[in-house]
Structure formats: C-alpha cells, structure tokens
Amino acid sequence: YQRRVRVGMERYVEEFERKKNNNKDTPIAILAIQVLNDFVSKSDVGTLQQLLEQLKELSTQLKATAGTSNTSVVSGCDLFVRFITLSRGQNDPSSEDILECKGFDRVRKFLMDRGDTFLERLRKSRQKIAQLAYPFITDGVTVLTVNVSRVVLQLLVKAHQKSKKFKVLVTQSEEGPLMVKELNAQGIQATQILDASIGYVMERVSFVLVGAVGVVENGGLINKIGTYPVAVMARSLNKPFYVAVESFKFYRNYPLSQLDLPNDARYEDPEEKNHPEVDFTPPKYINKLFTDLGVLTPSAVSDELMKLYI
C-alpha cells in the first residue's frame, strides 16, 4: 500500500515538472498548489489525517525540485493546506462547515471547493497588487528595480496603461535584460544598468521597487542576490524601498543574519554550495510591502502571519 502511494506521488512530481516547463509566467507556488489540488481530488484515502499527511509528503517532494524558489513553494503549500481545512469560510457564515460533512466523500468535495477558491484568489493576487499599488507611480518618477519580477512587471504595465509617464532602471543581475525587453515591448522606457552603478544612479531615482522570492516573519525580504545592497543604498540616500509580493510568499522563518537562511533556500545545489542565489534584506530597510492583503508595513507581516497560523 505504501508503494502504491509513492508511485502515485511520482506522477504528481512529474506533472509539476511539466507545468514548470510549460508555464514560465505563472508563479511556481501556484503550479505546486494546482498539483496539490489535483492530488486532493484523485487521492483514495479514507481519512482527513491521512490526506493531510500525504499532502505534506507531496509538498516536501515538490519543494525538492523547485530550486531556490522553494521558499514560495513551502509557504504556498502550507497556506493551501491550512486554507482548505479551515472549518468555515471566513467571510461566508452560511457556507458549509467541514465538521458537519457526513462521509469522507463530502469532506473531499468540501476540500476541493475550498482548494478551487484558494487558487482563484491566488490567480487574482497579481492583479490586486497592480490595482492597489499603481497610484504610487506618479508622473515623472524614475523607478529602480532589481532583476526580473513578474509582479513588478504587471504593476508597471498597469501604471503605463493608466497613462503615467515614468522611467525604469533595471539592474543587470542575472536576468535584467529580460526585464528590459519585456518593459520596452510594453512601451515603457527602460534602461539597464550595471549592479556596480547603483551608487551612481541612486540620487536620480525616486524610489526602488522590487519583487520577492519570499517574505519572512519579521517583514524582511528574500530576493535575488544584490537586493540588499540596493536597499542599504536607498536607505542611505533616503529613497523609499517598496516590495511587491503575493501573500502566499509569506514564509515562516525568522532569520537574524544572512547565514540563518536554510541552505536549500540559498543555493541552487545545497551539496555543492557554489554561490548563494538569494540574500536577506532586514525589515528596517523596507518602507512598504504591496501585497494582495493590502499595503503593509514590515511589522504588519508578523500580524498577518499570526492571523493565519496562531
């Protein structure tokens, strides 16, 4: 029986790999949650406990294939499991209570409905962020961003569609040219700069706007390596530093230093430990976070996480 379950899981891991290759634009965490949702509908267990255990096992396996974005996979899967097992819809007191379901098939249907609701909310999260945050981009601003981030891209495109005139500077980092290309294709004036020149340009920048790989419990940011120096530079010249991030990236970890991040979050290959892919920006350098839960300060992140977990 154990082996049958494991073989079942390999199929889902393969499915996840396939989705990753076909959907470069969708956040990896959403793909993982889609796989989990699929698993809930097709799983053949008889009790909720068993199902939760299997979901946990599957999340761990998906995380292992996710590279350095695994923090968002971990946080996304964790939130998915918590959301679907919440006994009653938070804003809908008339919705069915999981405790009143008779028979596991009813429970399974309940979980699937909740899972679909969750996915629907997540899919809309980037739109919500763009809607909330585009007023921060006013005419004549120069925005500095680090590497490529689809959330930031969607935000800037929205602002452009609302006829705001602004310029964007993108640091080269690893995939900066891709970001420049996408922005230019949308008609936004974007220039690529060397990472070494952030000191040189910072006086002309209005604010810094970055995406995130994950947001930690104290409101700190995990993002592509090179973000921390930009944050320190921005603070030094009193330029606001904004982060655009979906709420499923809120990660339950509380690092006090760069080395406190787990190895598999930092390195592409934890065995070889080449060069870290991400760095940690402490919350004191961050002014605001644009999330689908609203515009938050770093200290509010802990509040939101407590609402979800405690």
Partner 1 sequence: MIGPSHLHNHSEAVVSTQSTGNFIKHTKVQVAKISPDLTESVAKEELQQSCDNFFRENIYLAGKSITEKAVERVVDGDTILIYKKSQLILHILLEAKARNKNFRVMVVDSRPDLSGVQSCERLTAAGIPCSYVYINSCTYVMKKVTKVMLAADALLANGYVLGPVGTALIGLISSTYNKPVIVCCETYKFSERVQTDSILYNELADPDSMLKTLNEEDTPVSNWRDCPNTRLVNLVYDTTPPALVSIVITEIAELPCTSAPVVLRRGAVKM
How far is Cα 77 from Cα 107, in angstroms, rounded to an integer? 19
Q: Tokens for 154, please give them.
A: 């969607």
- Residue closer to partner 1 by CB (options 27, 255) is 255
Asked if residue 256 binds partner 1 (CB under 8 A), the reply is yes
Ramachandran quadrant class, 103 (left: phi over 0; alpha: psi -120 to 50; beta: rest): left
How far is Cα 39 from Cα 5, in angstroms, rounded to an integer? 11
- Residue closer to partner 1 by CB (options 184, 299) is 299
Asked if residue 303 binds partner 1 (CB under 8 A), the reply is yes
| Shortest reach from residue 208's CB to partner 1, in Å | 22
- Residue closer to partner 1 by CB (options 100, 303) is 303
Asked if residue 200 binds partner 1 (CB under 8 A), the reply is no
- Residue closer to partner 1 by CB (options 159, 212) is 212
Strand order in the sheet with 221-224: 214-215, 221-224, 278-281
Determine phi and psi for 129, rounding to 5 degrees: -65, -45
Among 4, 83, 57, 77, residue whose Cα is nearest residue 307: 83
| Shortest reach from residue 174's CB to partner 1, in Å | 28
Instruction: Report in angstroms the alpha-carbon separations of 188 from 156, 232, 266.
Output: 8, 27, 32
Considering only residues 202-241, where is the footprint of partner 1 by CB under 8 A? 217-219
Binding test (CB under 8 A) with partner 1, winner from 283, 290, 291, 293? 283
Count the residues in the chain: 310
Asked if residue 302 binds partner 1 (CB under 8 A), the reply is yes
Asked if residue 90 binds partner 1 (CB under 8 A), the reply is no
Q: Write out the residues near partner 1 by the rule CB under 8 A.
A: 217-219, 254, 256-257, 283-284, 298-299, 302-303, 306, 310
